[in-house]
Chains A and B, each alone.
Chain A
Amino acid sequence: MLGDADPVRPDGMEAGPQAMFDYVYQRTNPAGLVREYWYHGAGCHAWLVVERDTRTHAVNGVKTARDVTLARQRGGR
Chain B
Amino acid sequence: MARMRLWPRDLRQASLRYSAFKIFTEALRGNRGWQPVWREPEPKPSYDVIIVGGGGHGLATAYYLAKNHGLTNVAVLEKGYLASGNVGRNTTIIRSNYLLPGNIPFYEHSMKLWEGLEQDLNYNAMVSQRGVLNLYHSDAQRDAYARRGNAMRMHGVDAELLDRDGVKALVPFLDFDNARFPIQGGLIQRRGGTARHDAVAWGYARGADQRGVDLIQNCEVTGIRIERGRVVGVETTRGYIGARKVGLAVAGNSSRLAAMAGLRLPIDSHVLQAFVTEGLKPVIDIVMTFGAGHFYVSQSDKGGLVFGGDIDGYNSYAQRGNLPVIEDVMEGAMAVWPGLGRVRLLRHWGGIMDMSMDGSPIIDRTPVEGLYLNAGWCYGGFKATPASGFCFAHLIARDDMHPVASGYRLDRFASGAVIDEKGVGAQANLH
Query: A residues touching B (Cβ–Cβ < 8 Å)?
Result: 1-4, 17-18, 21-22, 24-31, 34, 36, 52, 54-57
- Inter-subunit contact B414/A27 (CB<8 Å): no
With A and B bound together, what is the CA distance between A77 and B267 in angstroms? 26
With A and B bound together, what is the CA distance between A28 and B267 in angstroms? 8
With A and B bound together, what is the CA distance between A20 and B429 in angstroms? 20
- CB proximity to A under 8 Å, residues B257-271: 264-269
A54 CB to closest chain B CB (Å) equals 5
Residues of A with C-beta under 8 A to B253: 31
Chain B: interface residue total (CB-CB under 8 A): 23
With A and B bound together, what is the CA distance between A56 and B317 in angstroms? 8
- Inter-subunit contact A26/B318 (CB<8 Å): no
Closest to A27 in B: B268
Q: Assess A54 versus B269: contact at CB under 8 Å? Given A1-B314, A28-B255, A34-B315.
A: yes
Chosen A-B contacts, 7 in total, with CB atoms closer than 8 Å, are: A21-B413, A21-B414, A30-B255, A31-B317, A54-B269, A54-B315, A55-B318
With A and B bound together, what is the CA distance between A26 and B356 in angstroms? 10
With A and B bound together, what is the CA distance between A34 and B314 in angstroms? 11
Query: B residues touching A (Cβ–Cβ < 8 Å)?
Result: 253, 255-256, 264-269, 313-318, 322, 357, 413-414, 426-429
Residues of A with C-beta under 8 A to B357: 24-25, 27
Closest to A24 in B: B426
Residues of B with C-beta under 8 A to A26: 264-266
- Inter-subunit contact A1/B264 (CB<8 Å): no
Residues of A with C-beta under 8 A to B266: 25-27
With A and B bound together, what is the CA distance between A34 and B269 in angstroms? 12
Chain B at the A interface: SS class: mixed
- Inter-subunit contact B413/A27 (CB<8 Å): no
Residues of B with C-beta under 8 A to A24: 357, 413, 426
Residues of A with C-beta under 8 A to B314: 1, 36, 52
**Beyond known contacts A25-B266, A27-B357: 8 more, CB 8 A cutoff:** A3-B315, A3-B429, A27-B264, A27-B265, A27-B267, A28-B255, A29-B255, A56-B318
Q: Assess A29 versus B427: contact at CB under 8 Å? Given A1-B314, A34-B315, A57-B316.
A: no
- Inter-subunit contact A54/B317 (CB<8 Å): yes
A6 CB to closest chain B CB (Å) equals 12
Residues of B with C-beta under 8 A to A29: 255-256, 265, 267-269, 315
Interface residue from B255, B322, B413 paired with A25 (Cβ < 8 Å): B413
B255 CB to closest chain A CB (Å) equals 4
A28 CB to closest chain B CB (Å) equals 7
Residues of A with C-beta under 8 A to B267: 27, 29
Residues of A with C-beta under 8 A to B265: 26-27, 29
Q: Assess A28 versus B264: contact at CB under 8 Å? Given A34-B315, A57-B316.
A: yes
With A and B bound together, what is the CA distance between A57 and B313 in angstroms? 12
A15 CB to closest chain B CB (Å) equals 14
With A and B bound together, what is the CA distance between A55 and B357 in angstroms? 21
With A and B bound together, what is the CA distance between A3 and B313 in angstroms? 9
- Inter-subunit contact B268/A17 (CB<8 Å): no
With A and B bound together, what is the CA distance between A33 and B267 in angstroms? 17
- Inter-subunit contact A55/B255 (CB<8 Å): no
- Chain B CB within 10 Å, residue with most, of A1, A4, A55: A1
- Inter-subunit contact A3/B318 (CB<8 Å): no
